[in-house]
Amino acid sequence: MTGDSAGWSFASARGPARFAAAEHRRSPEAEHAMGAHATLCGIPAKQIVAYRHHFRISGARACPRCSERAAAAPTVTCGQERLHDKVLTAVPSPLRTRLLNALRNGAPIAIWINGPADGVAVYAHLDHITDGAEAVKDLLATHDPIGVARVAQPSGEFIVLLPQHTDPVIAWANRPVTWWRTLVRGVTSVASAIVGKTAAGTKQ
């Protein structure tokens, strides 16, 4: 959902809580919803095998008690709201204001990834940053844990770095210009075809 959707808001974008699917080691016929330390129906985690897919309330094997409690669980915030709350702690700037407004209007988050800074640097599109590049490069030159988020806009994207122990850093990257590459490939193809035809005519 994006800012172009009428009536978009953090409240309207909240979604249902999701839980990992799990099975009791001795009774695998039923599928349960996994909470923090036990299933929603109360089976301790040490007796459970958890899976990577989500528990489905309407699944054929769904535990009735887990389904009931999963359906009653509070809704969860959307990615835009979570990122917005983190960006609020960044140093005030025009770029921060623009980003906050974009998130409030539902701007799509292209990616939000966490890991060692030098390992996730590739996702920050450093070569296209036009505002805030130095601060971004300094943070990504380490091996410290960090989050990298990109918020898409029609003319480019916000790059947000989320260090664990310091304030977020915001940068702006222009959208890569690819039309000229397409043009060059087209011209090259036409030129190659002309050369090929000329060579064939010469041979005849």
Give the integer Cα–Cα distance in Å for 103 and 126: 22
187: CB partners within 8 A, 6+ apart: none
Give the integer Cα–Cα distance in Å for 22 and 14: 25
Token pair for 187: 């011209």
- What is the pLDDT of the chain when averaged over all its residues? 88
| Residue given tokens 């990109």 in the structure block | 150
Give the integer Cα–Cα distance in Å for 2 and 9: 10
Token pair for 103: 């998130």
- The CA-based angle 40-42-46, given to 5 degrees, is 105
> Which among 123, 121, 94, 128 is positioned nearest to 111, based on CA atoms?
123
DSSP structure class, residue 180: H
**How much is the pTM?**
0.70
In the chain, domain spans: 20-72, 79-174
Q: What's the whole-number mean pLDDT along residues 176-180?
A: 50
Confidence of residue 139 (pLDDT cuts 50, 70, 90): very high
pLDDT digits (tens, 9 = 90+) for 82-109: 999 999 999 999 999 999 999 999 999 9
Count the Cβ atoms, other than its own, within 10 Å of residue 38: 16
pLDDT score of 2:
42
Confidence of residue 3 (pLDDT cuts 50, 70, 90): very low
| Residue given tokens 């917005």 in the structure block | 84
1: CB partners within 8 A, 6+ apart: 8, 13, 106
